[in-house]
């Protein structure tokens, strides 16, 4: 028995005649930093869509902490503790950095209607301060979000995903389009987040993934090609042939 937080069993996803995922079964243990890797079109983002509740799979089950969430609305996935930060940037560019995080914190706050309004606003502001500090953006709270550098916008997005204090954080290509410096900052942030909660990344940068993740799952044409430690994946002949060999 493992302490799996997330278990998917026989997940398939069809888009018309095309099958993006084909009977994927995999489990992720609590408190670990894992990554899903694989070539473009392998089904990684589709997998994240399913485990974050954005899409119900054509077949298969999704369990979180032993509870079957298959077919539940997305807000139920969020309520039980699953959050996703996206492959594309999803911040409100016209709002300030602090306002962005406040919006995210407020959504969580909305559940605690019993609090007096002023207390609630105070709590939201404090939560936003804490979240910005957590991702290293405290000094930029008053800036317009759209004016931040790309890497800072991605960190802001992480702060927003953290507003719900998720047990499981899903990050789809968190370093996409980043400079080496920005990538370094994001890597550090991911490693530290993984000390407090379960994190699963989708990432193309192999050096990054091999360096910080404890466990890798390789998807290829919608199927699990291999899973294991970075060393096991590096030395897997099949993985080298279809994926790593080409880099
Ligand atoms: N809504 C959709 N309708 C039709 N086909 C889709 C849809 N979403 C994804 N696909 C197809 O499913 C396959 C898997 O897509 P997915 O986005 O999951 O890949 P990925 O592994 O995330 O790729 P990348 O590394 O490029 O982000 C691709 O062939 C894609 O074109
Ligand atoms: Mg993708």
What does the pLDDT read at residue 232? 96
Tokens 């309520």 map to which residue? 79
Q: Whose CA is nearest to atom 18 of ligand 1?
A: 43
Beta carbon of 42 within 6 Å of any ligand 1 atom: yes
Ligand 1 pocket check for 89: Cβ under 6 Å: no
Asked whether the predicted pLDDT for residue 118 surpasses 90, the reply is no
Q: What is the pLDDT of residues 23-75, one digit of tens each?
A: 999 999 999 999 999 999 999 999 999 999 999 999 999 999 999 999 999 98
**What distance in Å separates the CA atoms of residue 208 and residue 199, rounded to the nearest whole number?**
14
Is the Cβ–Cβ distance between 108 and 163 less than 8 Å? Answer: yes
pLDDT over 70 for what percent of the chain?
91
What does the alpha-carbon distance between residue 120 and residue 89 come to, in Å, rounded to a whole number? 28
**Residue 62 pairs with which residues in a beta bridge?**
8
Pure H helices in the chain = 44-51, 74-79, 97-109, 117-134, 150-162, 180-193, 206-212, 230-234, 237-242
* Per-residue confidence (pLDDT) for residue 1, from 0 to 100: 46
- Contact in structure between 210 and 198 (CB atoms under 8 Å): no
**Measured at the alpha carbon of residue 88, what is the angle toward residues 83 and 92, in degrees to the nearest 5?**
80
* Cβ contacts of 110 within 8 Å, gap of 6 or more: none
Predicted confidence band of residue 90 (pLDDT cuts 50, 70, 90):
confident
Q: Does residue 87 carry a pLDDT above 60?
A: no
Of residues 65 and 85, more confidence is placed in 65
Distances (CA, A) of 141 to 54, 64, 213, 231: 30, 34, 31, 41
Q: What is the pLDDT of residues 178-190, one digit of tens each?
A: 999 999 999 999 9
User: What confidence tens digit (pLDDT) does each residue in 149-162 have?
Assistant: 999 999 999 999 99
Phi first, then psi, for residue 88 (nearest 5°) are -105, 155
| Amino acid 205: pLDDT | 86
What is the C-alpha R_g of the chain?
18
- Note the pLDDT of residue 219: 96
From 136, 50, 144, 128, select the one nearest 91 (Cα to Cα): 144
CATH architecture of 1-81+166-247: 3-Layer(aba) Sandwich (3.40)
Half-sphere CA count of 189, side-chain side, radius 13 A: 27
- Please choose, from the candidates 32, 29, 9, 11, the residue with its C-alpha nearest in 3D space to the C-alpha of residue 21: 11
Q: Say whether pLDDT at 88 is over 80.
A: no
Tell me what the mean pLDDT of segment 113-121 comes to. Answer: 66
Q: What residue spans define the domains of the chain?
A: 1-81+166-247, 90-165
**What protein residues have CB closer than 5 angstroms to ion ligand 2?**
44-45
Task: Check residue 115 and give its pLDDT.
Answer: 58
CA of 47 to the centre of ligand 1 (A): 9
Residue 110 pLDDT level (bands cut at 50, 70, 90): low
Digit-coded pLDDT (tens) for 202-227? 998 888 899 999 999 999 999 999 99
Q: Of ligand 1's atoms, which has the minimum distance to the CA of residue 42? A: 21
């Amino acid at each position: 028995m493992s302490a799996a937080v997330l278990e998917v069993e026989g997940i398939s996803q069809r888009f018309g005649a095309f099958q993006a995922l084909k009977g994927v079964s995999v489990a992720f243990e609590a408190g670990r930093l894992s990554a899903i890797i694989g070539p473009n079109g392998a089904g990684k983002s589709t997998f994240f869509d399913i485990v974050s509740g954005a899409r119900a799979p054509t077949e298969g089950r999704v369990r979180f902490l032993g509870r079957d969430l298959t077919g539940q609305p997305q807000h139920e996935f969020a309520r039980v503790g699953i959050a996703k930060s996206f492959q594309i940037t999803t911040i409100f560019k016209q709002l300030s950095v602090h306002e962005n995080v406040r919006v995210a914190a407020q959504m969580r706050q909305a559940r605690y209607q019993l609090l007096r309004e002023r207390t609630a606003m105070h709590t939201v502001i404090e939560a936003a301060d804490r979240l910005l500090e957590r991702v290293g953006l405290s000094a930029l709270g008053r800036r317009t979000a759209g004016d931040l550098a790309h890497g800072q916008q991605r960190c802001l997005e992480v702060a927003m995903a953290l507003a719900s204090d998720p047990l499981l954080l899903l990050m789809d290509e968190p370093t996409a389009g980043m400079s080496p410096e920005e990538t370094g900052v994001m890597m550090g942030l991911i490693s530290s987040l993984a000390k407090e909660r379960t994190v699963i990344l989708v990432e193309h940068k192999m050096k990054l993934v091999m360096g910080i993740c404890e466990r890798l799952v390789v998807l290829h044409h919608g199927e699990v090609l291999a899973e294991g430690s970075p060393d096991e994946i590096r030395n897997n002949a099949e993985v080298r042939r279809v994926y790593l060999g080409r880099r």
